[in-house]
Amino acid sequence: MTDDITLHIPGPIPVEPDVLAAMAQQVRQHYGGDWVGYYQAFTERLRRIFATGGAVYPLPASGSGGVEAMMSTLIGNGGRVGVIANGFFGDRVLQIARAHSAQAEALELPWNRPADPGEVRTWLRRTRVSVLGVVHSDTSTGVINPVAEIAAAAREEGVAVAVDAVSSLAGMPVETDAWGLAAVSTASQKCLEAPPGLAPVAVTAAGWELIDRQPEPARGWYLNLRTWREYEHAWPHHPYPVTLATNNIFALDRALERILAEGLEARFARHRAAQQVLRRGLERLGFTVLADARWASPTITVAYPPSGTSPDQIVQGLRSRHGIAIAGGLTQLAGKVIRVGHLGTQAYPEKMQRVVDALEACLKELSAARA
């Protein structure tokens, strides 16, 4: 292991020193008046990031834990659920849905484009599902699904929408209430700029309405958001069912303070600017970006290298000779693409320019080795 590698993978990301220092505080009691007051201020900051007045639960889990909590609670035991599957993480949401219901349908689409709201509406009319799961920004492809428009189409069909915003929240607009979403899940280690360990989930009034009218509620306990709501209301001194990861909360809270001080609109602009520097640089160097500019994510870029150049050699060369970590492709894109993260602390134009410069040097080194 070495500390001199700069992470430009699609998460986790480098964390600012003051966020790490917050995590290094002495462990504190996770219940009682002093803590609960702090916790409520923390969750209020989370609500501002989610743009919701609903419930927010910072589950100690990975991002996939939050997605499973969201999906399983909304689905209930064996409910009808649909998932838009146009990337590796869309496929993961589908796997989670199928783990909780035999009535899980997939709208399978090519990985190089988003779902079209019109085709989603037509598909929902045919499948008659109650819940639709969708990944906002899939880090396997760098493609954004138009969640606001998809949610509007779904509402017309009486379908609740659950969003995996693991790599989008705080890096691009996510309007939980304004878009009429049932629930949104994310993770601490991406655009929220904190260490891994927390999977915040937001549930709106529309989400609870669906959950409360299920004929058969979800069977789980820890990842069942009904459990978290029960403790939230019945245990004022301990409004969550487990021992919280308090030090992770300290770190994430400090990161939230930084995010809100910067301002969400300023952050969104910064992420777009970083993306543009990388995209222009990749195209100049002969890469082919997978996602069309119309639906390219501001937090992750996926690209095919120039002809005759191995993505794996680029990943290895950047790490060993330039101290930069990027990622390769997943499943059907394995061995075909590189993936570069520009999330949170990575998302500065000057940092992306350093990545571009290193890629240019790496391509020259690989070319010289082949000569």
Find all residues with CB under 8 Å of 323, minimum gap 6, and list them.
Answer: 4, 5, 6
Say if 366 falls within a structural domain: yes
Closest CA to 6 of 271, 319, 328: 319
Q: Which pLDDT value is given to residue 2?
A: 57
228, 260, 292: which is the final residue of a domain? 260
Q: Which pLDDT value is given to residue 136?
A: 98
Residues 278-322 have pLDDT tens digits of 999 999 999 999 999 999 999 999 999 999 999 999 999 999 999
Say if 338 falls within a structural domain: yes
- Are 320 and 331 in contact by the 8 Å Cβ rule? The answer is no
Say if 317 falls within a structural domain: yes
Residue 278 sits in a domain of what CATH number? 3.90.1150.10
Using a pLDDT cut of 70, give the percent of the chain over it.
99
129 and 204 housed in the same domain: yes
CA 52 vs. chain centroid, Å, equals 17
Q: Is residue 192's pLDDT more than 90?
A: yes
Structural domain including 216 reads: 17-260
46 and 94 housed in the same domain: yes
116 and 209 housed in the same domain: yes
Q: Is the dihedral of CA 246, 139, 322, 349 positive or negative?
A: negative
Angle separating helix axes 349-370 and 264-284, nearest 10 degrees: 20
268 and 215 housed in the same domain: no
344 and 322 housed in the same domain: yes
**Token reading at 318:** 């950047």
Number of domains in the chain: 2
Find all residues with CB under 8 Å of 158, minimum gap 6, and list them.
Answer: none
Is the pTM higher than 0.95?
A: yes
The 3-state DSSP class for residue 32 equals coil
- Are 358 and 156 in contact by the 8 Å Cβ rule? The answer is no
229 and 324 housed in the same domain: no
**Token reading at 327:** 């990622």
Say if 1 falls within a structural domain: no
**Token reading at 123:** 């598909």
Residues 150-164 have pLDDT tens digits of 999 999 999 999 999
Find all residues with CB under 8 Å of 34, minimum gap 6, and list them.
Answer: none
Q: Which pLDDT value is given to residue 238?
A: 97
137 and 24 housed in the same domain: yes
Summarize the confidence of residues 116-143 as an average pLDDT.
98
Closest CA to 258 of 14, 18, 13: 18
288 and 170 housed in the same domain: no
186 — phi, psi (to 5°)? -150, -165
**What's the mean pLDDT when you consider all of the chain?**
97
Summarize the confidence of residues 180-194 as an average pLDDT.
98
**Token reading at 39:** 């916790």
Closest CA to 11 of 156, 163, 138, 107: 138
**Token reading at 205:** 């009034």
Residue tagged 């909780």 (tokens): 100
Summarize the confidence of residues 96-102 as an average pLDDT.
97
306 and 256 housed in the same domain: no
Q: Which pLDDT value is given to residue 371?
A: 74
Give the pLDDT band (50/70/90) at residue 370. confident
Residue 252 sits in a domain of what CATH number? 3.40.640.10
84 and 129 housed in the same domain: yes
Say if 202 falls within a structural domain: yes
260, 280, 299: which is the final residue of a domain? 260
205 and 84 housed in the same domain: yes
Q: Based on C-alpha coordinates, what's the Rg of the chain?
A: 21
Residues 26-60 have pLDDT tens digits of 999 999 999 999 999 999 999 999 999 999 999 99
- Integer Cα distance of 332 and 43 in angstroms: 38
Q: Which pLDDT value is given to residue 216?
A: 92
Closest CA to 218 of 158, 159, 156, 131: 131
Using a pLDDT cut of 90, give the percent of the chain over it.
97
- Integer Cα distance of 84 and 271 in angstroms: 25
243, 260, 277: which is the final residue of a domain? 260
Higher pLDDT, 224 or 2: 224
